[in-house]
Amino acid sequence: MGEAKAQDGIGKLVTDHKPFWKTTPLTELSVEQWESLCDGCARCCLVKLEDEDTGENHYTDIACHLLDQGTCQCKDYANRSTRVPTCVAVTVESLPKIAHWMPPTCAYRLLFDGEDLRWWHPLVSGDKNSVHLAGISVKGRIISENDIAEEDQQDRIVDWPHWDVLDPKEGDDTGD
């Protein structure tokens, strides 16, 4: 199906084509579309600690040892689940079970919850670095799990992975 085209009042081409994430259910995305939803923030690669009394998950600023801290990409993405048994693959099947602990800015969680992608998402901005420029990614905020003793991890609990950044046209950071 082609996209409708028209000209606006000043001669610019206008289309009514909507991006795939607005028109295609998550269950029908191609592998390429699914993978492109990852914004590269790497918040999901942070060590999360569960409160034994409440069951609540807490983010730390400790990253998986496979995370490249400069690029916020996994150093061995294809084998990550084998090398890190606690690594949870985000799939259409796993999403309903894991969406609640994913970062609130995660595209998979947003779309699962019926929301739209944020302005800084590379699919929206057209710039793969916009997630870093907006301050959403973990870049410059983390240490590797190889650099901290397990008994010291609870001292590294942070709130910023729960924060979001609004469109600059709309207002300020919504984090507390």
Residue 3 lies in a domain: no
Residue 11 lies in a domain: no
CB of 143 closer than 8 Å to CB of 135: no
Q: Where are the beta strands (DSSP E) in 42-112?
A: 46-50, 57-63, 67-68, 73-74
Residue 5 lies in a domain: no
* Integer CA distances (angstroms), 120 to 45, 75, 139, 161, in order: 19, 24, 15, 15
Range of the domain at 77: 29-161
Residue 13 lies in a domain: no
Residue 23 lies in a domain: no
Amino acid at 77: Y
pTM of the predicted structure, to 2 decimals: 0.82
Residue 33 lies in a domain: yes
- The pLDDT score that the predictor gives to residue 170 is 63
* Count of the separate structural domains present in the chain: 1
Structure confidence at residue 100 as a pLDDT band (50, 70, 90): confident
pLDDT tops 90 at residue 93: yes
Residue 126 lies in a domain: yes
pLDDT tops 60 at residue 132: yes
- The pLDDT score that the predictor gives to residue 10 is 40
pLDDT digits (tens, 9 = 90+) for 55-86: 888 999 999 999 999 999 999 999 999 999 99
Alpha helix (H) residue ranges in the chain: 20-23, 31-36, 80-83, 95-98, 107-112, 122-125, 130-133
